[in-house]
Chains A and B, each alone.
Chain A
Amino acid sequence: MWITGTGALSCAGRNPGELWESLLAEKSGLIEGLGRVADLSPDAPADLALSMALETARQAMGQAGWSHLNEDDGIIIATTTGQILMWDQALLHFFKDQADPESFRRAFAHQPLGQLLNTLTESLGSRTPHRWLLTSACTASTQALIMGALWIRQKKVKRCLVGSVEVLCDLTVQGFRSLQLLSNETARPFDRDRKGINLSEGAAFVCLEGQNPGPRALAEVRGWGLTTDAFSMTSPEAEGRGSYRAMKQALETAKLAPNEIDWIHAHGTGSMHNDAAEGQAVRALFGAKSPPLTSTKAIHGHLLAASGLLETVIGVEALKRQTVLGTANVQNIDETTGANVLVKSEPRPLRHIMKNTLGFGGANAALVLSRVGDRA
């Protein structure tokens, strides 16, 4: 499977190039621990989720040279918030007897997360019936990319537009705060002085094709793994066994040995439980000589469902530029995690990289991305 187009919109940049420059310069887009996307086009739809998704989808499709989605193309979107900004305030007004039932009904029609998928597909001018919407928390967009690859392999669709979008809203901001996971300071993944995670909004899209697209190819999706902890609703299994199995599956489907992975882009949220479990999973799979591992969430924050795909776009840029990124804002590496944390960005030959993701509900997913032309 080949990635032929990417799009990214976050507090750290309006496209993959801007995001990459922010990452290299360690210029965080977070303000007081939250990452907001500002300055959308004046003619963008009022619906922030739809607006961000449309802009980012068009970036990816433009780069891939896709003018439209055909009826035998697929589209997969991942989100946990969807169009919540279109209905959450209406619900609150309704509770306070400040909204009439009809206006509330109209607003509340946006509540099913899948509604975003239909609106986006139609806004892209497509009538494809091949539409999936995944909601598996922070793992959703990595799952979406994997499912897109499998969908194409099974010849159910010819190409697939895979995207993800998240908005900041009361539900997630106050919800994560209630779990005491949020930090008002910029996150410090894998740092022993970590304070918590930073939520952010944004979108990421990739165009996925099954037949070798020649010079249009940006990277190859070569391996994948999907597993579940069955342990806790909100914490990963303490030793990271589920994450270990996902990364192991990804190596097996890629037909690669652990020592052939040149870089790991970690989930690295900066929560104590995530860092510990992910570090142990990496150590168990790759051993003492594990490849360097990086979290970039101090720059763009945690985009929840969109994080895996945004970080996949970063991985594509890293392969293209043959450069690994450092873990911004880390000062005192937490050695107890066992991870080989990379602090500073540097040029480095990259053939194969691992993107790892963990999520609430115990969902794990891992990807192996390869440089174009590196299939043995």
Chain B
Amino acid sequence: MTEELINQAKAAIKTNGNSKHTKVLQALETEDVRAYFDDALENQLVLNMGPQHPATHGVLQLVVSLDGETVVNCVPVLGYLHRGYEKIAENMTFHEYIPHTDRLDYLSPLANNVAYVLAVEKLLKIEATPRAQYIRTICCELARIASHCVWIGTMAMDVGALTVFLWAFREREKILDILDILTGVRFTTSYTRIGGLALDMSDECIARIKKFIDEFIPYLEECRELIERNKIFINRCEDVGYISKEDAIQIGLGGPNLRAAGVETDLRKDDPYLVYKELDFDVPTLTESDTLARYYVRVREFYESIKIVRQCLEKLPKGPINSPDAKQVLPDKGTVYTKMEELIHDFMIVNFGNTPVKGEAYQAIESAKGELGFYVISDGKGYPFRLKIRSPSFVNLQSLPIMVRGGMISDIVAIIGSLDPVMGEADK
């Protein structure tokens, strides 16, 4: 075949000596390659970004179609971290599943623990004691601060400011030290139990949290000074990744990203859970809906979270941390070894699981990324019949193609940083 083509080309050169180069090209090209010779500037380039890319915050793959440096379209590809957590849940008791919730949004494991346990408690129709509720609220807010610390560091790093990353991680380290005292572990906490908590909050822990919230704001302001008056940071964020309010609602965007688009929505206010009804805090809302607006919404949330933790510590009531429902709540380990009744209950709950009535329950909390919800269906047995995780990162990522379209390729990095997705949660 190639010999024939070359012979044809040679013959063409012989007959028409002047334009020999064009004739050779024409002879060699097939239907497929002709496009490359037509007009090189009018072709779109398809670029593969990720799954192993430092700016995609995990194993997110983006297939980007480019015209020069302008993004024409973008298709996110998910599933590289899919571990089948919904299937796993159907094969273990309610308590056994708590450690798995740590691995969903691994930047705020405490919030996941609380959300899951609240959903199961709703199904079992039990409620935690006031002290447990307050401690859980503190946990949620500490988790939010820790998660936002990682976000502010990584987002600044994505647009070129490396120092903030180190400073924010130093603050997060302090929260992890507090969690070490509170829960016994630094990272994968598994702290909550159905109807209560694993451990009570000690006085030492309270003192550490107080010290932390007093010192945090000056450190945060140091970080803000570094980037907010930095021209590079502003130029790379302002008017980048715009999404209109209508589009944001239509596509299902939630959490801080939706609040930056001018929708005042927060489950802590709209559908209060835990003790948020009794606390005084604001919901920061902006209308610009670009990367910079999403940055400012999250920065203001730091201040609100600190406010909430301070109020909780002031109001923290004394009393037991476990609800008195002996059939559903794990008894204290000390009594299990000495009392018959508790031993039986412990045996039943550990071996056969909690026994809810047939039914369904949905509980959502406002996590650092948006609405984190658990939809639990029970058929009366000791393990969930179906557990659906409504993960905020998954839904937020859906809006990425709208935001990056028409922007520059370097903006993609800033936009992903401002969306703050965690792939452990998005891929489940």
The finding on whether chains A and B are genuine partners in a shared complex, rather than unrelated, reads no
